[in-house]
Amino acid sequence: MLILIAGITGLIGLPCARAAIAQGHKVRGIARSAGKLPKEVRDQLESFEPMVGLHDIAAMDRAVAGVDAIICALAGLPEMFLETQVLLLRAAERAGVKIFHASSWNYDWNRAPGSHEIYDVIKAFSQYAEVISTIKPIYMFTGAIAEYYFRNSPLDWDTKSKTFNYHGSSTFQTRYTTADDIANYTLEAITAPDAAKGGSIFVESFQASPEDIASAYSAATNGRVHVTLNCLGTIEDAKAKLDDGRAKYPKREWHKYLWYCYQVNIPSRSWDFEPVDVARFPNVKQTSLEEFFRQNPDI
């Protein structure tokens, strides 16, 4: 299978490329620059199409030509979720591509509409695609992406002090999926016999509370490192900060307050789901929390 990965240099795109290559598929990439790709991945690509800006239709048309499936792993920005992804979907239609995995990999944005500014944009894409396109995209719900929480979000995890920040109960479990597990689930989804039918897929790697994180990190480091759990208040406290941010900033400045949206809605189970498709894809070995920490000693 020839697979196009849009956003191949990113948090999900790169693991998808590695997984696809490991499984014997041909991989084509499209992104701003191939320079961010590790050499061992770049050298194994069927080809790479540089994209200039978010609306580079010509590059998209070149990238989709002759591919069997598309994984859209663009950066998690509203303009990419909606504008760029719609243009890529239209390019896929023109090329006759039937299998299109849309950018998703989050909690279930079908639940609690209006509770998350960016989730509403993703939902808008899904509704728009259903109305205008012959392609039926695949959407995957994974809970939190583990690498994002523990490597890219200092508000959640301080890699230097090994401090985990949270609101609410220290025993509440969040759903996580690692980037590598996401890649493997995504490959299973797009190569399934019914992939062109699209639809929603629900998976996870593990569930973990703040207390579980402290325990697993200690186990992964053989007791050498102690995790500090920093409770910042109740869920109601987080809700007050979220409300204050929404009152203070326009929606286009969502990044200034959206962290509190997760602090409210995840422990409130506003977007929760059951990972019913884990059993559907037994070829994917779920990573445990302790394994995740052992595999990522820089975290």
Distance CA 259, CA 265 (A): 10
**What is the dihedral angle through the alpha carbons of 139, 79, 166, 274, rounded to the nearest 10 degrees?**
-10
Distance CA 102, CA 125 (A): 9
What integer is the mean pLDDT of 73-88?
96
Domain range summary for the chain, segments of one domain joined by +: 2-142+177-204+272-286
Which amino acid type is present at position 280? R
What is the layout of strands, in order, in the sheet containing 163-166? 157-158, 163-166, 228-231
> pTM for the whole thing?
0.97
| pLDDT reported for residue 200 | 98
Distance CA 207, CA 266 (A): 12
Phi-psi region of 96 (alpha: psi -120 to 50; beta: other; left: phi over 0): left
Q: What is the DSSP letter of 94?
A: H
Q: What is the pLDDT of residues 224-261, one digit of tens each?
A: 999 999 999 999 999 999 999 999 999 999 999 999 99
Q: What is the pLDDT of residues 153-211, one digit of tens each?
A: 999 999 999 999 999 999 999 999 999 999 999 999 999 999 999 999 999 999 999 99
Q: In this structure, are residues 1 and 191 in contact, taking their beta carbons and an 8 Å threshold?
A: yes
On whether the 2-142+177-204+272-286 domain is CATH 3.40.50.720, my answer is yes
- What is the three-class DSSP state of 139? strand
Altogether, the residues listed in the chain come to a count of: 299
| pLDDT reported for residue 166 | 99
Q: Which residues, 6+ apart, have CB-to-CB distance to 191 below 8 Å?
A: 1, 69
Instruction: Count other Cβ atoms within 10 Å, centred on residue 137.
Output: 23
Q: In this structure, are residues 69 and 3 in contact, taking their beta carbons and an 8 Å threshold?
A: yes
For residue 203, give the nearest of 283, 123, 267 by alpha carbon.
Answer: 283
Instruction: Count other Cβ atoms within 10 Å, centred on residue 36.
Output: 13
